Amino acid sequence: MSPSPARLRWSIVAVLAAMALAVLDAGMVNVALPTLGRAFGIPPGEALLAVSAYQLALLIGLLPCAHLAERLGFRRFFIGGVGLFGFASLLCAVAPSLPLLVAIRSAQGLGAAAIMALGVALLRAALGTDRLADAIGWNALTIAICSAAGPTLGALVLSLGSWRWLFLAGLPFSIVALIAARRLPEVGATGDPVDIFAIVLHAATAASLFGAMRKFADHPLVATLWLAAALLSFTLLLRRERGRERPVLPFDLLTRPRFRASVLASVCCFTAQSAGLVGLTFYLQNGLGHGPMVTGLLLTCWPIAVGMTSIAARRLGERIDAGGQCALGATLLAIGLALSASLPPEGGVAPLAVAALACGGGFGMFQLANNRNLFLIAPEERSAAAGGMQGTARLMGQTAGTLLAALLFASIASNVVAPRAGLAAAAIFAFAAALISWRQSSVSTSHGKAD
């Protein structure tokens, strides 16, 4: 028996409100870092801990949340994630010191991990596989709108009151999500035992890899030690998990060539996006001398184009296979980044705005097709694992892109050359995503079927 239209609407509201909550929070807090530094009397670099703690908890939590949700139930775990995020937001608003704020932000990251891992999986269960592209499109549109609105809303809140109000601004979304989530379908709840040791090994691998990436530019030796620890814990995890039916790290999905290619292409594309956004920001402000207002308006072109493309790309998916659509989107992203890197400084901001629109349009096209591919390859009962893997690929790419830009800025002194080099490097990663996707498309076509 199909669910009622009212139940479908409430399911969509629950997931999209929770996604908006997580994305808006991240955008608003990033804007507040200088304010947090002044409020706690610390250097601006230390205030970054409030962001790093959230990112690390999110990276650690994505796959374990999927693992736990399969055993305890998607809806129950999703509601727990939204509730944890909202409660942690209240505690962040009253945190008396930076260490406490960092600890609470870690809890927020775990709540966000449950939301990110299970959101699309729950939409798939509510709407059915036939409408999966619609669900992914709505999800992408919500994330794009909130990504664009987050920094602006954060700046508005800071102009009217204390930074503490930033953490209260998202509470209406958490309340709406919790009320609507009661109508979500129940999925999972297999009752299988939880693999605690595998979760610990995964957390050690993710934390060590995160530490290696963070220390790579400034302390190569320390980064090497972190990387060695990551390799050790990953080797132990591999030996424990390989061959299991529902592993924490989804080896059962990663052995499928199309799924593996989609994950790798996603890492490359998010690396390109992250390095490109950082490079464009520094190029506009430090290279061309524009202020935050011009920079913010131009960068808004990117998520706006993502949202617009998320709507239009649904029809394109009926004509072009997922690999071809991914390749087309990644190529458009690469062209936009290459244009941004090569346009003459005296050309003004209008050509850069066009390039940013091309980047956002290409990225939106890639994301819609790639996410649809990931979830269609995975069996419905493994949708949470696919969501966790997609989120992990996104975070790895975003972190790698930021570190790539930081490394180039540290090694190139020129305020014009360094960000343009970052944009050029981002274009290379986007082209790599396009090549991986083209190969995936050609293999899929030659075989005539999915994995």
**CATH code of the domain covering residue 384:** 1.20.1250.20
410 within domain boundaries: yes
Least confident segment among 75-79, 330-334, 405-409:
405-409
Q: How far is CA 78 from CA 103, 180, 181, 207, 255, in A?
A: 21, 12, 8, 23, 27
pLDDT over 80 (residue 266): yes
Burial of 358 (0-12, 13-18, 19+ CB in 10 A): buried
Q: What is the pLDDT of residue 44?
A: 60
pLDDT over 90 (residue 128): no
Mark whether 399 and 301 lie in a shared domain: yes
pLDDT over 50 (residue 449): no
pLDDT band (50, 70, 90) for residue 450? very low
Q: What is the pLDDT of residue 451?
A: 47
- Tell me the residue range of the domain where 83 lies: 1-186
pLDDT over 70 (residue 341): yes
Q: Tell me the average pLDDT across 382-399.
A: 88
**Which position has the higher pLDDT, 309 or 449?**
309
Q: Tell me the average pLDDT across 103-114.
A: 94
Q: What is the pLDDT of residue 5?
A: 74
Mark whether 394 and 310 lie in a shared domain: yes
Q: Which amino acid is at 113?
A: A
**Which position has the higher pLDDT, 405 or 340?**
340
CA triple 263-388-434, angle to 5 deg: 20
Q: What is the pLDDT of residue 15?
A: 92
pTM here is 0.83
pLDDT over 50 (residue 117): yes
Q: Tell me the average pLDDT across 71-92.
A: 92
Mark whether 180 and 159 lie in a shared domain: yes
191 within domain boundaries: no
Mark whether 268 and 375 lie in a shared domain: yes
Q: What is the pLDDT of residue 147?
A: 74
Mark whether 384 and 323 lie in a shared domain: yes
179 within domain boundaries: yes
Q: What is the pLDDT of residue 299?
A: 80
Q: What's the whole-number average pLDDT of the chain? A: 85
Mark whether 283 and 350 lie in a shared domain: yes
Max mean pLDDT among 102-106, 159-163, 218-222, 375-379 falls in 102-106
330 within domain boundaries: yes
348 within domain boundaries: yes
Among 243, 258, 273, identify where a domain stops. 243
pLDDT tens-digit profile of 147-204? 777 777 887 888 888 888 989 988 999 999 999 998 888 876 777 788 899 999 999 9
450 within domain boundaries: no
449 within domain boundaries: no
Q: Tell me the average pLDDT across 209-229.
A: 81
pLDDT tens-digit profile of 4-46? 777 788 889 999 999 999 888 887 887 777 788 788 887 766 7
pLDDT over 80 (residue 115): yes
Mark whether 115 and 167 lie in a shared domain: yes
Q: What is the pLDDT of residue 72?
A: 86
Among 165, 186, 207, identify where a domain stops. 186
Q: Tell me the average pLDDT across 255-276.
A: 92
Contacts 24+ apart (CB under 8 A), 125-129: 125/74, 125/185, 125/187, 125/380, 125/383, 126/3, 126/7, 126/8, 126/11, 126/12, 126/184, 126/185, 127/8, 127/11, 127/12, 129/376, 129/380
Least confident segment among 98-107, 216-225, 267-276:
216-225
pLDDT over 70 (residue 317): no
Mark whether 80 and 154 lie in a shared domain: yes
- Rounded Cα–Cα distance for residues 46 and 49 (Å): 6
Least confident segment among 54-68, 221-235, 293-307:
293-307
Mark whether 224 and 264 lie in a shared domain: no
Domain tally, the chain = 3
Mark whether 285 and 237 lie in a shared domain: no
Q: What is the pLDDT of residue 332?
A: 95
Mark whether 239 and 254 lie in a shared domain: no
Mark whether 255 and 239 lie in a shared domain: no
pLDDT over 50 (residue 282): yes
279 within domain boundaries: yes
In this structure, what token pair is assigned to residue 384?
């949470």
